[in-house]
Amino acid sequence: MGRRPVKPASEGRRTIGIDIGGANLKYVCTDGNAASYPFAMWNRSSELTSSLVDHLSQFLPASSWAVTMTGELADCFLDRKTGVEFIVDAVCEAARRIGSQPSFAPEIRFYGVDGRFHRADDAKRLFEVVAASNWHALASQVAKTIAGDATLVDIGSTTTDIIPLRKGRVATSSMTDFQRLVGQSLVYIGCRRTPVCALVDRLWFNGASSRIMNEWFATIDDARIVLGIEPEHPDDCESADGAPRTVARSANRIARMIGLDQTFVSVEQAAKLAVQIMDSAKREIHSAFDAIDQPRGPIVISGHGRDLFDVPEDREVIDLSTELGGEISRCAPSWAVANLWADRSKAALVRKGRPSCDVS
């Protein structure tokens, strides 16, 4: 759990933003608490409901859960429709288990790339709108509250989002994952999970250019650890070979990419390989950035992979982690979706004298 409540909210108006990703479950409450848990959807989808119950029970009861997702694309689901249905049902079931009395059951809404919130049934029907919506939630909230004319560059563990914002709104017509891959506002490169074999075809070693082994032997995480960008985590074995996330083991994993190993590749030599891997990732992200039509405002940088993006010298930078604090910024889409819903409810309350329920 993160920081203590920063702006105590009555239970009646407390909203928890929930970001159900393919590799993590992230939560931010409007009372200022935040939490993030690794969750490999493709292996553990059957545990989703119980994990949600476990995690959400650690927050104070909230009147609303605002949900955004990308986890529906995990290949444990036949297709995105099935994935959205599964996730929506899991959230509703988690709410039933947590809120045993109707008065305690949270109101649940699912955010869509149409910028609106949808009830469970509508979310399932509009699965294309609700799928892969977390980038839109973050971009909308940043546009509303941080910088109305800007470019959001959000580099997470798996992907990079590059979103132009104009006049306080998301300014792209690319909405689905496919449209965004075509338009390059989605680059499927992040700072943790991206496999080395997807980043480079060859690596220079000892003056020779080697083809690589197309195996999941190493990820970009290993390059960042070897280069000291990411600290060592000796107790964490969430790596390609299941060995610890240490410099020595990361160097060994990288060496494997060219048919070698620690016996023949020193950490210093592995660092030279790591630089090539990082350079390739940076090049791809920059090429996408350059292809996107953007306003001349600041760049709002977000996510823990910001080292993968060298900000152009002529652009002002706003660091979302400075704005929000590290804990919440690690769960930025959850922060966004919680506040988008809370603000919307507040506005509806002012407008109609009661909370709005029919939003879809």
Contact set with a copy of itself (CB under 8 A): 73, 75-76, 78-81, 132, 176-178, 180-182, 184, 186-189, 194-195, 197-199, 205, 208-217, 240-241, 243, 252-253, 256, 258-264, 288
Place of tokens 């959230």: 91
Helices 48-56 and 80-98, interaxial angle, to 10°? 40
The residue (of 104 and 216) whose beta carbon lies closer to a copy of itself is 216
Helix (H) or strand (E) holding 83: helix 80-98
- In the structure encoding, which two tokens stand for residue 225, read together? 């650890």
The residue (of 106 and 164) whose beta carbon lies closer to a copy of itself is 164
The residue (of 197 and 359) whose beta carbon lies closer to a copy of itself is 197
Query: Considering the complex, what minimum distance in angstroms separates the CB of residue 360 from a copy of itself?
Result: 21
Query: Considering the complex, what minimum distance in angstroms separates the CB of residue 232 from a copy of itself?
Result: 17
Nearest to 181 by CA among 197, 200, 159: 159
Helix (H) or strand (E) holding 210: strand 208-211
Query: Considering the complex, what minimum distance in angstroms separates the CB of residue 30 from a copy of itself?
Result: 31
Query: Considering the complex, what minimum distance in angstroms separates the CB of residue 261 from a copy of itself?
Result: 4
Which residues on neighbouring strands pair with residue 170, listed in sequence order?
Answer: 165
The residue (of 64 and 280) whose beta carbon lies closer to a copy of itself is 280
Q: Exposed, middle or buried, 8 (CB in 10 Å: 0-12/13-18/19+)?
A: exposed
Please state the three-class secondary structure of 244-306 as a single string.
Answer: CECHHHHHHHHHHCCCCCCCCCCHHHHHHHHHHHHHHHHHHHHHHHHHCCCCCCCEEEECCCH
What strands lie across the sheet with 15-20, from one edge to the other? Answer: 34-38, 24-29, 15-20, 64-69, 107-111, 117-118
The residue (of 63 and 194) whose beta carbon lies closer to a copy of itself is 194
The residue (of 257 and 340) whose beta carbon lies closer to a copy of itself is 257
Q: What are phi and psi of 244, to 5 degrees?
A: -60, 155
Query: Considering the complex, what minimum distance in angstroms separates the CB of residue 255 from a copy of itself?
Result: 9
- In the structure encoding, which two tokens stand for residue 81, read together? 């429709």
Query: Considering the complex, what minimum distance in angstroms separates the CB of residue 16 from a copy of itself?
Result: 28
The residue (of 111 and 217) whose beta carbon lies closer to a copy of itself is 217
Query: Considering the complex, what minimum distance in angstroms separates the CB of residue 89 from a copy of itself?
Result: 18
